[in-house]
Structure 1
Amino acid sequence: MSKTEQLRQSVLRSVQMVRYAVPLREGGSLPAIAEGDDGFDYVIKFKGAGQGTRALIAELIGGELARAAGLKVPELVFAEVDEVFGRTEPDEEIQDLLQASTGINLALHYLSGAFTFDPVVTDVDADLASRIVWLDAFLMNVDRTRRNTNLLVWHKELWLIDHGAALYFHHNDDHYSAYIDRPFAQIKDHVLLRRARRLEDANVHMKTLLTRQVITSVVAQVPDAWLDNHGAPFDDQRQAYVDFLCGRLDKSDVFVKTAEDARNVLV
């Protein structure tokens, strides 16, 4: 048994997608609502989309670390897509996407009746806002802004979705260590920054939850099929993510200060 197999925990289920229902054209990567063989609906993110499997890796790592930190995230599942899935879809662009996505994709449980968070309408307490801002600064997530909040309100609770834009540098640079102690200037655009009055408390709290063991267990779930076949051994590629995330935790004062400075400008 490999080191990865020993660490991998059966957190994410595998679900066969049986019906392509509705494309979500507001997403640049053409996600869709699909039905699984378990009878539930999911929002599926396809590995054949423009950002490829790196976006799925960020989605898995970001979502599961958020969950480990006590934040609400829809269930993530490995979405199995076969060659006949969506065959009746008439759109050629979607057909090409589905053909390029045969195998393991990623999906989020569809929160029926949820609505997009509006910062003008819905208040968020300082503790929760601070933890979310901290997480996005930690993950270098560029996509939680007023223009695109990637937050849903469901049963009067705030749910985090869409972490595919986190760890943005891994699309172009394999030297993750260079980003460990970098400030995250884009945090100035975060939709919850103004409410994040407890960033120092959030820093202490989140670091007690996101231990090396937790991070390693989450990263261990990244499938071999999403990793670079022409790069380092798969376990080494996963270890690079673990080393980056653990190193960034050790340097958290850097991105917390950047967030605090940006918030002081706002208020």
Structure 2
Amino acid sequence: MELRNVHVTRYITPLREGGSLPALAEANDGFNYVVKFKGAGHGTKALISELIGGEIARLLGLNIPEIVFIYLDEAFGRTEADEEIQDLLKASRGLNLGLHFLSGALTFDPVVTLVDPYLASKIVWLDAFLTNIDRTVKNTNMLIWHKELWLIDMGASLYFHHSWINWDKLSATPFAEIKNHVLLPFASHLNEIDNKFKEILTWEKIGEIVNLIPDNWLDWKSPCETVQDIKEIYIKFLGNRLNNSQLFIKEANNARKTII
């Protein structure tokens, strides 16, 4: 398993609706990408969340724009008039993360578009597993493209890594925030999806996805942990959540009962 590598050739425009100030950029393969910058607020941890969450979603058969490693040359930012953007580009030289731009896509509106209960259950399971706090009515982070539902923006997943303490305890939590999920009312097949996804998402597959993380994204100046130690913690966190999936499935089913 590997991702393609591309280089930014043209910075097109910032996407200011994103809190971390992502941007639309053209790459040397001729395609446009939404670029998530390592120099933004949460640094490489947000990129790691995007990478792990996106590739797990893809493995489970959900629609995710292609994820690429996208290289930003040091020349970018020198002529940018906006000081905030200039600082961001300077801080993001080197390897960043890009998602293929879905041209013409529309923001998902739960009032306009009904989602099949089976698909809704898949997405709710995924976000409970990843502890993604950011797929709510206010911020659905989903698009309609070619009449299909696509998931974007996994950057708020795996929030345990922002504190990096008690990760083993946090891996076996119910995830109460699932009550705010925009698709929870429609997710009536969670138990069935749990059984199916646990056949697909093995510890081995988790390891393959985690090992996609570039080593220099894990340079956290930790006195106790090597890059491989950090990757092992991600693998164990996700594996433990998989083994304890009944906790977040029960939480989601109980929360659903209160809103339908």
Scaled by the length of structure 1, the TM-score of the pair is: 0.95
Aligned to 2:157: 166
Q: Deviations over 1:58-109 (max 9, x none)?
A: 1100000000000010000001001112433210000000000001100100
Aligned to 1:29: 20
Aligned to 1:188: 179
Aligned to 2:166: 175
* 1:261 and 2:254 are equivalent in the alignment: yes
Q: Which whole-Å CA distance do the structure 1 matches of 2:220 and 2:132 have between them?
A: 26
Q: Which whole-Å CA distance do the structure 2 matches of 1:69 and 1:248 have between them?
A: 16
Aligned to 1:6: none
* 1:14 and 2:29 are equivalent in the alignment: no
Aligned residues: 258
More off after superposition, 228-237 vs 249-258: 228-237
Report how far residue 229 of structure 1 moved: 4.0
Does the CA contact (< 8 Å) of 2:77 and 2:90 recur in 1? Answer: no
Q: What's the secondary structure of 1:121's corresponding residue? A: coil
Q: What's the secondary structure of 2:79's corresponding residue? A: coil
Report how far residue 236 of structure 1 moved: 1.1
Q: Deviations over 1:7-39 (max 9, x none)?
A: xx32x1111011100100111100000000000
Report how far residue 249 of structure 1 moved: 0.4
Q: Which whole-Å CA distance do the structure 2 matches of 1:258 and 1:47 have between them?
A: 33
Corresponding letter in the other structure for 1:63: G
* 1:51 and 2:45 are equivalent in the alignment: no
Scaled by the length of structure 2, the TM-score of the pair is: 0.97
Q: Which whole-Å CA distance do the structure 2 matches of 1:65 and 1:149 have between them?
A: 19
Does the CA contact (< 8 Å) of 1:20 and 1:86 recur in 2? Answer: no
Alignment partner of 1:74 out of 65, 69, 72: 65
Q: What's the secondary structure of 1:266's corresponding residue? A: coil
Aligned to 2:195: 204
Q: Which whole-Å CA distance do the structure 2 matches of 1:64 and 1:87 have between them?
A: 33
Q: Deviations over 1:217-244 (max 9, x none)?
A: 0000000111034221111110100011
Distance 1:94 1:241, change over 3 A: same
Report how far residue 200 of structure 1 moved: 0.4
Q: What's the secondary structure of 1:119's corresponding residue? A: coil
Alignment partner of 1:108 out of 85, 99, 108: 99
Alignment partner of 1:236 out of 224, 229, 237: 229
Q: Which whole-Å CA distance do the structure 2 matches of 1:93 and 1:155 have between them?
A: 35
Q: Which whole-Å CA distance do the structure 2 matches of 1:174 and 1:233 have between them?
A: 16
Corresponding letter in the other structure for 2:234: Y
Q: Which whole-Å CA distance do the structure 1 matches of 2:92 and 2:71 have between them?
A: 9
Q: Which 5+ residue runs of structure 2 have no aligned equivalent?
A: none
Instruction: Determine what percentage of the aligned residue pairs are the same residue.
Output: 58
Aligned to 1:246: 239
Q: Deviations over 1:185-238 (max 9, x none)?
A: 110000000000101011111111111111100000000111034221111110
Q: Which whole-Å CA distance do the structure 1 matches of 2:258 and 2:79 have between them?
A: 52
